[in-house]
Amino acid sequence: MATAAVSTERKNYLNAEYGIRSWLLTTDHKRIALLYLISITFFFFVGGFFALLIRLELLTPAGDLLTADMYNKAFTMHGQIMVFFFLIPSIPAVLGNFLIPMMIGAKDLAFPRINLLSWYIYIIAGGLYLHCLVSGGVDTGWTFYTPYSSLFSNTHVIEAGLSIFIVGFSSILTGLNFVVTVHRMRAPGMTWSRLPLFVWSHYATSIIMLLGTPVIAITLLLVVLERTLNLGIFDPSRGGDPVLFQHLFWFYSHPAVYIMILPSMAVISEIVPCFSRKRVFGYSFIAASSIAIAAIGFLVWAHHMFVAGISLYSALVFSFLSFLVAVPSAVKIFNWTATMYKGSVSFSTPMLYAFGFIGLFTIGGLTGLFLATLGVDVHVHDTYFVIAHFHYVMVGGAVMGYLGGIHFWWPKISGRMYPEAWGRLAALIVFLGFNLTFFPQFIVGYLGMPRRYWQYPPEFQVYNVLSTAGASILAVGYLLPMVYLLWSLRYGKPAPDNPWQATGLEWRTSSPPPTFNFEETPEVTWEAYEYDTMPMPDEVTLER
């Protein structure tokens, strides 16, 4: 039967089996990645819908479109959905899941059933969150600050807290799978120094997931218990300390920012060498900087609390460490830039996203220095300056990387080429729309507009109008790839096994790959990114 199938159409992970059961009970990491792709795309658009509501409300200084409570729920649910149900799982659970086993020459992740379990946990948590959403939502801000969340909010804090508690386990199990897979499942010859930087970055990400997530899990559990049983651990009127919550919350939630950005850096580290036809500049420094970010990232959490009443000296230490964590990020930027030097740079869609990432992440990272500078943070903390900063990192950085990665590996995932011209157009629209949306927020933040304001003084209006205009362009930029990628599934040109002539192991198997990734276990005898040994990609196959 197998031989007959091969002669007509190559068997791959997509057509190996049919039917809904074969998807819902699959243990194939590639199919689970697609399940994740569909679910996070759904949540991305739900979160985006709330972003749209926020931007429309802020078009005018008065609170006229939504009520104050609705607005508070909108920004809370925008934040929680985007952070916990989109950004954190986005690249790891989709691209990481799909690619890590292939990149290291394994047939699957170490624990395929746990991998499927993590998706189910995600779905259960997502369902619970959606139920919370339709039954009235939650208005604590994504940060759940006590004592507002534990004593004062009249919304569905328990349900939201529990669903984020649950989704944490999905992320822990994914991280566990990645770490063990990288340690134990590498193909013969795939030494640590030959690992693609994508894998290094995901390894660092997984460590953060493993060691950070349980802390927020227990913290949210305590908030839930505080609300149900009236414990009083975070209630100042009963001797509790609300600032302790902030410490515990940011102990995870600051490293969580690195969970979002490191995988995106992983993607860029693959795209830049491929489209420059060069070995990546400073391989070991990029790899080491990922680990450094993960390690130092655990020691900077209190820079979210410089005006929260922490002691002068601890503020000093955390400010210093926050500057320190900027160094490995800068090292990455410099190395990617240097990789292009004397290369052969192509302007294909993934590379355009990589350019976008480098530009936006540079701005996002540098404005992070403003926030690490104690005296300046006092003024800009909790203003739109912070909003702009972290959107430059999380949307400008993480989402650009995610879209770049989706385009780069789309031929491998779907077996089809996407329309290159549309891809470039969308990348351009996203870049322009993004800057128009978020750059004005730096200015309005420095002017003093606090975040989470439903109505605001009229002198801030011009910037908010610009921002809203940008957001509508951004929305088009995000819808466009969804349309043409879906279109390409049916009408796209069949993809060759290695359309970009990239060096990774994932490109040395068919597109789409067979169920067990490789016909036989590969043996690695070459270093990572040996682009001098690869032929130039055929430009004609790339241009539709």
Partner 1 sequence: MSDRAGTGDSPLVLEHEDRPELRHHFADVVQQRNAASLGMWWFLGTEIMFFGGMFCGYLVYRRAYFPDFAAGSRSLNLIAGTLNTAVLICSSLTVALAVRASQLGKRKQLVNLLLATIFFGVCFLAIKGYEWRDEYIHHHVPTFYFDAHDLVRENPNLHLDPQHTKIFFSLYFALTGVHALHMIVGIGIFSVITFMAWRGKFNPEYHTPVEIAGLYWHFVDIVWIYLFPLLYLIDRRPGA
Partner 2 sequence: MFDNFPLWPTSASVHARYEDWLFIFLTVVSAAMTLLIFATVAIFAMKYRRRHGREATQIEGSLLLEIGWSIAPLGIMMIMFVAGALLYFRMRTPPTDSDQVYVVAKQWMWKLQHMEGPREINQLHVPINRDIELIMTSQDVIHSFYVPAFRVKQDVLPGRYTTLWFRATRTGTYHLFCAQYCGTMHSGMIGEVVVMDPRDYQAWMTSGAPSGTLAQTGATLFMQLGCNTCHNMEVQGRGPNLTGVYGHPVQLEDGRVVTADENYIRESILQPAAKIVSGFKPIMPSWQGQVNEEQLNQLIAYIKSLSPAPEGQASTSGPPGGNPENQETK
Give how many residues touch partner 1 by CB under 8 A.
59
End-to-end CA distance of the chain: 35
**Residues between 409 and 448 with contacts to partner 2, criterion CB under 8 A:** 443, 446-448
**Residue 19 near partner 2 by CB under 8 A:** no
**Residue from 241, 459, 527, 530 in contact with partner 1 (CB under 8 A):** 241
Q: Are 155 and 138 in contact, with CB atoms under 8 Å apart?
A: yes
By CB under 8 A, residue 526 contacts partner 2: no
- CB neighbour burial string for 110-127, b if at least 16 within 10 angstroms, e if fewer: bbbebbbbbbebbbebbe
Q: Which of 178, 185, 168 is nearest to 203 (CA)?
A: 178
User: 127 to 146, contacts with partner 2 by CB under 8 A?
Assistant: 139, 141, 143, 145
Q: Are 441 and 467 in contact (CB under 8 A)?
A: yes
- Collapsing DSSP to helix, strand or coil, 450 comes out as strand
Minimal distance, residue 329 CB to partner 1, in Å: 24
C-alpha to C-alpha distance for 60 and 462, rounded to whole angstroms: 9
Q: Which is nearer to partner 2, 174 or 348 (CB)?
A: 348
With binding defined as CB under 8 A, does residue 531 bind partner 2?
yes
Residue 3: both structure tokens together: 């031989």
Among 40, 77, 110, 272, the residue binding partner 1 under the rule CB under 8 A is 110
Question: Is 235 or 420 the residue whose CB approaches partner 1 more closely?
Answer: 235
| Residue 13 engages partner 1 in binding (rule: CB under 8 A) | yes
462 binds partner 2 (CB under 8 A): yes
- Find the binder of partner 2 among 7, 309, 520, 540 (CB under 8 A): 309
Residue 256, both tokens: 């969580």
Cα→Cα distances 173→37, 97, 170, 206, Å? 17, 12, 5, 9
Encoding tokens for residue 529?
């990114």
Please give the helix or strand (H or E) that residue 470 lies within, else none. helix 461-491
Query: Should residue 204 be labelled a site residue for partner 1 when binding is judged by CB under 8 A?
Result: no
Task: Name the minimum Å distance from CB 295 to partner 1.
Answer: 14
Of 359, 428, 479, 508, the one binding partner 2 by CB under 8 A: 359
Is residue 240 near partner 1 by the rule CB under 8 A? yes
Residue with tokens 């795309």: 41
Query: In this structure, are residues 29 and 98 in contact, taking their beta carbons and an 8 Å threshold?
Result: yes
On the CB side of 399, how many CA atoms lie within 13 Å of its CA? Answer: 23
| Maximal CA-CA distance, the chain | 75
Residue count of the chain? 544
Site for partner 2 in 374-403 (CB under 8 A): 374-379, 381-383
Nearer to partner 1, 70 or 221 (CB): 221
Q: Which does 61 bind (CB under 5 to 8 A by kind): partner 2, partner 1, none?
A: none
Token output for 399 = 């989402």
Specify the residue, 211 or 338, whose C-beta has the smaller distance to partner 1: 211
Cα(433)–Cα(261) distance, rounded to whole angstroms? 20
Residue 526 to residue 539: CA distance in whole angstroms: 25
195 three-state secondary structure: coil
Q: Which of residues 486-505 bind partner 2 (CB under 8 A)?
A: none
**Looking at beta carbons only, is 221 or 369 nearer to partner 2?**
369
At residue 190, φ and ψ (nearest 5 deg) are -85, 80
Indicate whether 214 belongs to the interface with partner 1 (CB under 8 A): yes
Asked whether the beta carbons of 365 and 322 are under 8 A apart, the reply is: no
Of 35-43, 176-184, 287-295, 444-452, which segment contacts partner 1 by CB under 8 A? 176-184
Site string for partner 2, 174-213 (x = CB under 8 A): ----------------------------------------
Q: How far is the CB of 169 from partner 2 (least distance, A)?
A: 28
* Residue 461 touching partner 2 (CB under 8 A): yes
Site residues for partner 1 per CB under 8 A? 1-3, 11-13, 16-17, 22, 26-28, 106-112, 172, 176-177, 179-181, 183-185, 210-215, 217-219, 221-222, 225, 229-233, 238-241, 244, 247-248, 251, 514-516, 519-521
